[in-house]
Amino acid sequence: MTSAELLTQIRINGAIPRHVAIIMDGNGRWARERLMPRPFGHRSGMKAVREVVEGAIEAGLDYLSLFAFSQENWQRPTTEVSALMSLLEEYIARETEALDEQGVRVRVLGDLGRLTPAAAAAVGRVVSKTEHNDRLTLNLFISYGSRSELVRAARLLAREAVEGRLDPEEIGEEDFAARLYTADCPDPDLLIRTSGEQRISNFLLWQLAYTELFISRVLWPDFGRRELYEAILDFQNRERRFGRVPA
């Protein structure tokens, strides 16, 4: 089926996920297959981001979360990290106006203190420019690691308990979730990982507790609306039980 036909079927089915998260994987392999350096794959992956954002809007998603740059990625060669920071600045400069016009609210989540000054300034601009939009919330996870996020949440709770503002015996799951970067977002309904790898790579460990998983063999630069819609259609055919017995 074409992308348009898939989108029509999604709308007929009705049960559209509110929140889709994607681990964007395969840029390096895509470049290697073409005998090109890894940054070439990352640049090509920027086109896929636009395709998926526009597809998410058309499908009616409320939240789209993209795992763009992990804390572990800082350990990559300096030249590749520099290229990624430059691409982040370029993406924001190129896409901010279009995102704003489409009603997309952009949030950038992670340890942003490690960004270069230029990248941090670019992040601040796009977040400020789009903060009042409400058609789609786009969460870009940059310099992010879920274990660090969980430790950060635990420290916040511990500090409040030490200061007497919180009783440790009364801490519940809601209190913990409220200290995460995603405090005001629903948990993802669907997680897509591209390139065929079958792991979650330290991404949203708390939030993915009951998320449906979809593994796509398509490398990220080749991932577009059609592939997004195929994943949503697959999700619509599943029965989510959240630990309960089937209805």
pLDDT tens digits for range 133-162:
999 999 999 999 999 999 999 999 999 999
Q: What is the CATH number of domain 18-146+180-236?
A: 3.40.1180.10
- What residue spans define the domains of the chain? 18-146+180-236
Identity at 163, one-letter amino acid code: E
Q: Which entry of 13, 27, 62, 73 is annotated as an active-site residue?
A: 73
Predicted pLDDT at 59: 97
Instruction: Kindly report, residue by residue over 51-76, the tens digit of the pLDDT.
Output: 999 999 999 999 999 999 998 989 98
Whether 134 is catalytic: no
Instruction: Kindly report, residue by residue over 163-173, the tens digit of the pLDDT.
Output: 999 999 999 99
Q: Is residue 242's pLDDT more than 70? A: no
Whether 25 is catalytic: yes
Predicted pLDDT at 43: 87
Structure-derived torsion over alpha carbons of residues 218, 197, 145, 16, reported in degrees to the nearest 10: 50
Cβ atoms < 10 Å from Cβ of 5? 11
Cβ atoms < 10 Å from Cβ of 42? 24
Q: What's this model's pTM, rounded to 2 decimal places?
A: 0.93
Q: Which entry of 25, 27, 139, 189 is annotated as an active-site residue?
A: 25
Structure-derived torsion over alpha carbons of residues 147, 149, 154, 160, reported in degrees to the nearest 10: 170
